[in-house]
Structure 1
Amino acid sequence: MAIEAELKAIVRDPEGVLEQLEERYGSGRAEVYRDTYYDAPDGSLMGADRELRIRTVHGQDDTRTVLTYKDARVDEASGSKPEAETRVADADAMHEIVRGLGFTPRIAFEKRCRNYSFQQDGWDLLATLVRVPELDGATFIEVETSAATAAELAPALSLVRAVLGELGISEDDLTTELHTDAVAAVRPA
């Protein structure tokens, strides 16, 4: 399973970062993600730092759904996790299958994203400017690539850090807080 080499940061100047992304990588893709995270009834999946998610992405030209499984973190500093993901033809059927296997929805929320796909130093990267409406207008940037092996993780993360630095994002802006945890914290108990 490939490792998602990703860093996430709080963006202090969203308009400035957006302008830089557009200049460097062209027009981004505006998309709305509708994410549902599932867990075992006893919480053991999320309790073991693993994730099972169904994401439906609504874009300007299409709607697609992907099923994602993320194993536990292999790098605490970045939160990078091994990830397996596949496109799903029928979102409703996939939700039924996951529930039928005994998993229960733990949290669902929306992310408003602008995605930029590009190559740098031989790597395919994705930079995503993210707003989660429930998080009081906070803007995040996520930059990721895929490391085929654990040995590739350090150079992949080094490149991701360099891209963030080029965009004016400092190490102090980095966060490993999951959007699921942040949204759960602002919702009434």
Structure 2
Amino acid sequence: MIEAELKACVQTPEETLRRLDERAVGRAEVYQDTYYDTAEGALEARDEELRVRTVHGADATRTVLTYKGPPVDEGSGSKPEHETSVEDAQAVHALLRGLGYVPAVVFEKRCRNYAFEARGRQMLATLVRVPELDGTFLELETLVEEKELQGALHDIREVLVELGIGADDFTREQYTAAVRARRAGVTDREKNA
């Protein structure tokens, strides 16, 4: 399956939150993300991702292991995604290290998730704050077969407009790259120069 997804910088978080609350009941969760790679950075070089995510919610904590392949759509960055629940997070971290992978970047995302149906598709909207980064972000995604990708991205864009997102708000910058740049002391001005 392809994770058809678009991400945007939110200019008016309170308004976007209000519009999301009109669509569904949100659930607050904190993600602890560890992205793994080879010591040489082979996965990053191919634009692939290998992640262990532990999700802390109000009622439970769960962990998922995710692999995302290279993008199948350059405009959105949408990727094939394979994900599975993990019973023992520490065992999976040990397993990946034992296979020679190393933690490439570790960070926290504070999220409010909204699951709803729109345009005949099951969608997940996630309002995101990463403590190390400035701003609030909105991710909107749905899982589709590759042949449905362009139609799904069209539907996602329409829903994002309904949520108050403008054409100039879209971004393909990955949190991993932004967190690394922030930790390296690179300012937004230097990144965009």
1:142 equivalent in alignment to 2:134? no
Aligned to 2:190: none
Distance 1:73 1:121 in 2: 24
**How many angstroms does 1:106 deviate by?**
0.4
Aligned to 1:118: 116
1:69 equivalent in alignment to 2:67? yes
5 Å-filtered alignment, 1:27-176, equals 27-136=25-134, 138-148=135-145, 150-176=146-172
State the SS of the aligned residue for 1:76.
Answer: coil
The percentage of counterpart residues that share the same residue type is 61
State the SS of the aligned residue for 2:141.
Answer: strand
State the SS of the aligned residue for 1:94.
Answer: helix
Aligned to 1:10: 9
Q: Deviations over 1:17-57 (max 9, x none)?
A: 001100122x2000000000000111111111000000000
Using the size of structure 1 for normalisation, the TM-score is 0.96
**How many angstroms does 1:121 deviate by?**
2.7
- Tell me the C-alpha RMSD between the 2 structures: 0.9
Unaligned ranges ≥5, structure 1 = none
Aligned to 1:183: 179
Task: Give the counterpart letter for 2:2 in structure 1.
Answer: I
Unaligned ranges ≥5, structure 2 = 186-193
Task: Give the counterpart letter for 1:10 in structure 2.
Answer: C
State the SS of the aligned residue for 2:132.
Answer: helix
Equivalenced residue count is 185
Distance 2:12 2:117 in 1: 24
